[in-house]
Amino acid sequence: MYDYHAHTNYSDGAFLRWMVEAAADAGLDGIGFADHCNVSPESSARRYKRALGFNLDLTYERRREAIEAIRGDADVAVFDAVEMDYDPAHEDAVAEFLDEAAFDYAVGSVHELDGANVHTRSHFADKPESERRELVDRYFEKLVALIESELFAIAAHPDLIERNPHLRGFATEDHYAAVADALRESRTVPEINAGRLLDDYGEFHPSPAFLDRLVDADVDVTVGTDSHEPDEIAPRIREVEAELDRRGLEPVRLDHVANAV
């Protein structure tokens, strides 16, 4: 079992060593640290990075040294990865950075809609339903573009909008079909993401109906607990394993990652 999506203190998670030790204690064979990174040239993105400290574009070499140091005595394989914010308008900047940084693999995420993070409930709360539906359309357009770009091994939490109650419930079968079609033609695979399974949202990403659609389309999946703290890894992995068993799914291992370690 490989968890390809976890975070450390190089973005918004706990200390790297603590996360590695927790992954080994949870019985994982490998854990990938995909800390947040944004290389958008827009001033709003730069302000967001400064406020949250998402500076992996500046610190990835230092984190890589830490990963190399910890690999020697770790009881689990440790992967040097990144979770990149994606917007089609900034695809060239993302591609240039990924080529320069040469991570083991990259995770792509759509976090921004209408100039705000999709988690920002207040930004979307007072918008009319018609506008919120249009924004969900735009979210899935960006997700399809992310997949078609082939910049990423993994498409993270592919229905992140469901975490926001003001955007929840607007995804349609047409959205799911468009994503499934794009994934069938791409090397990018979606993850079963447990990041909000055990809190207020209470579901995996993709949601059950969305995952049904992907399974019916024979789309492969990987696993990402999206853990930020050590004590999140084991319970999330247990839930992922139960869901995989229930569906009879075998998550894929990323071949180029296997060759890199």
- Closest listed residue to residue 261, CA positions, set 18, 17, 33, 9: 33
- pLDDT over 50 (residue 84): yes
* CB-based contacts of 158, cutoff 8 Å, min separation 6: 143, 179, 190, 191, 205, 206, 210
Q: What is the pLDDT of residue 90?
A: 94
Average pLDDT of the chain to the nearest whole number = 94
**pLDDT over 70, % of the chain:** 93
pTM: 0.94
Q: Is residue 247 part of a domain?
A: yes
User: Quick one: angle between helices 173-184 and 208-216, nearest 10?
Assistant: 40
Residue 38: per-residue pLDDT: 93
Residue 161 lies in a domain: yes
Total number of domains in the chain: 1
pLDDT above 50: residue 82: yes
Which residues does residue 114 pair with via DSSP β-bridges, in sequence order?
Answer: none
The enclosing domain of 188 has a CATH number of 3.20.20.140
What pLDDT band is residue 13 in, cutting at 50, 70 and 90?
Answer: very high
- Residue 52 lies inside a defined structural domain of this protein: yes
Residue at 261 is within a domain: no
Mean pLDDT on 47-66: 84
Omega cis (within 30) before 206 = yes
* In a domain? residue 260: no
Range of the domain at 34: 2-255
Q: Quick check: 261 pLDDT over 90?
A: no
Predicted pLDDT at 46: 67
Q: What are the start-end ranges of the E strands in the chain?
A: 2-6, 30-37, 77-85, 105-109, 112-113, 116-117, 154-155, 189-193, 222-224
- The number of C-alpha atoms within 13 Å of 178 and in the hemisphere containing its C-beta is 18
